[in-house]
Each structure stands twice: as C-alpha cells, then as structure tokens.
Structure 1
Amino acid sequence: MIDSLDGGISLTFDRVSTDRVSRAESVAHQVSELISRQNVQPGARLGRKSDLRDQFGVAASTLNEAIRLLESRGLVEARPGPQGGIFVAKPTAQIRLSHLILGLDATSLSIADALEIRNALELPLAAHAAIHADREGLARLERIVRRMGELQDDPAEYLRQNWQLHEAIALLSSNEMLRTIYLSLLDTARHSLRDVAPDAHFREAWQENWALHRELVDAIASGSPGRARIAAERHAPYAERLNDTIA
C-alpha cells in the first residue's frame, strides 16, 4: 500500500497487477476505484505525474496512457504548471438514451433538449428520404444497420453507428434548412459526448432497439413516405433527463 504525496489529501493505492489487463488499464481502474471508495471530491489533487509514477511503479508512457483513459472517462484532468498535477474532474452531465447512459461535458447546455428537438425532426426527414433516396444512399443505410446488428456487446460503437445512420438519412433530404438544423443538433450531442455506458437492461432491450432501426431502413427503402414516418415515430428514442449538471 502506498500513500500519495499530493500534499492535501491522504490517498492509498495498491501496486499494479498485470493479470489479464494492461498496466495502463489497471492503473486507471485503481484510480477510479479509490476516487469512488474514498469519496474524493472534484478538484482534489491526486499528485504530480512523477508522484503517481513512483506510487504505481510504472513507466511514464504507462502512466500517460492511464491518465488518457481516465480523462476520456471524465474522471480526472491534468493541469500544467508548478501547482499543477492530476486532479479529480467535475462529474459529467448525464442523460439516458435508449438504455444507454451518455456522459456529457459538464459545461454542455441542455443536450437532452437538443436530442428532443432532433427526434421531432426525424419524421419529416424519414419521409424525405423515402422519396429521394437513390440506390447508393439506400446501400449506405443498409451497410450501417447491418453493422448495428453486430454490436450488442459494444454499446459505444452501437451508438456511434446509430447516429451515423440518422446522419445518412438526413443527408438524403432535399430540404437544406431542415437537414442543416438536424445535423447541427446531432453534432452538438456528439461533440459533447465523453462516455457511453449501458444500463442494466441494455442487453435485453438491444434487439428491440435494433429491430426498430431495421424497420426504419426498410420503410425508407419501400419508397413510402407514410410508412417511413410511422417507422420514425415508432423508433424515436426517449431521452430521459437524469441530470443536466452535477455541481
């Protein structure tokens, strides 16, 4: 057991185990656990990089990779300068989307509202796509939805392909203003995204969610705007606001 040298709070780390996980992932996991277990508050200093390298007994490259992993999960932030080091980050905002928990930048403004507006625009976009889709556009939709059907064990990639599918549908619309607004809302959410995690029921609900997207693509391919609107309405995910910001 090794005490940190952060000069403010007393933290205890275990030596890194390399069994079945990389050294960097092991360090990241232990830091995450100690933040949770010891209820370390946002803004607390975990130490300088040199301190943490000594405490974990790892090389600089390994520690840097661990910090990158932790930063991508919104758990820590690195600050430069004499008073810098590795600090516990402010928690991200979160919303629930189709059995996925989306972790967003804490500074993001009402992403749930942006997604709600985006969902409302999907009905006319689906109808436009049914009218205007060409062979190449339909082939792209088919490739994406098939790929989604292979991702029940990868929720982050499933969400990425999901949003890529809706982007591809929007690009088939002839209404430039509608298309631009929709893609802007999609980009707002996508650029604010820091983490994706499945809830306890993701595996149970995944098949149904994918089937709704499968039907949406089939409806667009049918060329019937009415069928496409119905499919879009049935599929529209419900964005449940868990919390906008966590102070």
Structure 2
Amino acid sequence: MAGSGPHLAVFAPVGGAGRVDAVVRRLSDAIALGLLADGEQLPSEAELAGRLGVSTVTLREALMALRQQGLVETRRGRGGGSFVRTPREPPELGARLAAFTVDELRDLGDHYAAIAGAAARLAARRALPGDLAPLWRSLDDMARAARSSRRAVEPAQRADSTAALRRLDGRFHVEIAAASQSARLTQEEIRLQADIGPLLWLPYDGPEGHDEVTAQHRAIAEAIRRGDPGQARDLAEQHVLDALERLIELRLANA
C-alpha cells in the first residue's frame, strides 16, 4: 500500500460515532475521487480495521455495504482479498445541481474556498520537494486526459475523458491538502471534493474550460513550489470562488 499523503489521510482513524457509516463514507469518497485506484487491493481486514481505528466487525459491515454499492469486490482463495471497483461517472450531475439552492451552493463554496486556501497556504510553508511531485504528476495526467478528450469522437469516449478529468481535478486538490501535512485538512478536502467537486467543475467542460482550469492549477502549484503562502492561498481561494460563480450561473440558467 502506498504511503502517500492522500493514502495516509484515507486510512487514518475515523473516530466519532456511527463508525460503519464513517468508514463507508471515507472509503467511498476516496474511490470516487480516484485516491484508491480501480483494482487496487485494500489492506487485510485486520490491518485496515487497525488503521481506521474500528473493530473487525465494524469493518466487515462497512465492506459489505461497499460491495452492495459495487465499489468493492471480494475475491476468495490464493491472492484474494478486497479490491476497489471505480464507478463510472454518475449521469445525474444536472439533477444533483438542481437539488441545491443558490444560497446552499454559495455557503458550501465559501467553506470549500476557506479549506482550499488554508491547505495551499500551509503546503507553501511546509511541503518538501518530494511532497510536491504528486502535484506535477497530476498536472501531466490532466494534460493527457484533456488531449484524449479533444480527440474523442464517440459520446461515450468524451464522457469517459470528462469523468477522468474531474477525478484528476479532485486528486490534485487532495494532494495539495496532503502537502500541507495536516491529516484533518486532507480528510476535509476529500469530503468536500466528494460532495461538490464534480459539480464545481461542471461549467468547465470543454477544451477552453480545461485550459483555463489547467492554467489556474499550475499557478497554484507554482506558488506552493516558490514557498509563497499568501499567493498560494489567494490563488486557491479565487480558483474555487470563480468556479462557484460559474456554477451558480449554470444553476440559475437551468432553473
């Protein structure tokens, strides 16, 4: 199992009440965001329960729920275990957007901007060069996915490319939070990305939108690499707030 910052946050103790639901939410969010890759084998039940700070009974209940959702596959026999199954992009993003009021979107966006800004500020202060390597890999992966989206001819191919870009966008922001060296910020970033991430980048579908988001991502990453906390925070906050305003415009246009 990789020891990257996002992975460490995914497998940190869940704490609190309702632990079955908490484990299901933690792992399902990580799978949806691509932090746990399709086909990746989860740790053994005993190890995973210990890392999440829950009993094996609780963990088994959570894995059962994830299997029912099609997010985990259990294989028996030699080389068996629990393996991640990445879901296809859900087609109901428009319906999800319509379920939010404008005030709810603005409130959620304000909260997310504060988290993203704090994570970028701390990353600029604390991150070592090795902590930043995942950011640049994600940016390269985004560029390849964007080129694939431009070349796509069939609607299914375009949908797959768009879904990949959204997952990569979420992964990029989680990696910034991981570079901040704060497990709590990283876990909150994962939760928020799962809640609003796919919606937040909905207005940027299409080549021009991809290019704009990529430029903003690179500017944030460069500010973190330069060790400029104020600039990194401001760019990250503005990145989220710009997307939020476009999302609200899209919500009103489809009301």
Pick the structure with greater CA Rg: 1
Looking at secondary structure, tell me which structure has more strand per residue: 1
Normalised to the residue count of structure 1, the TM-score between the two structures is 0.49
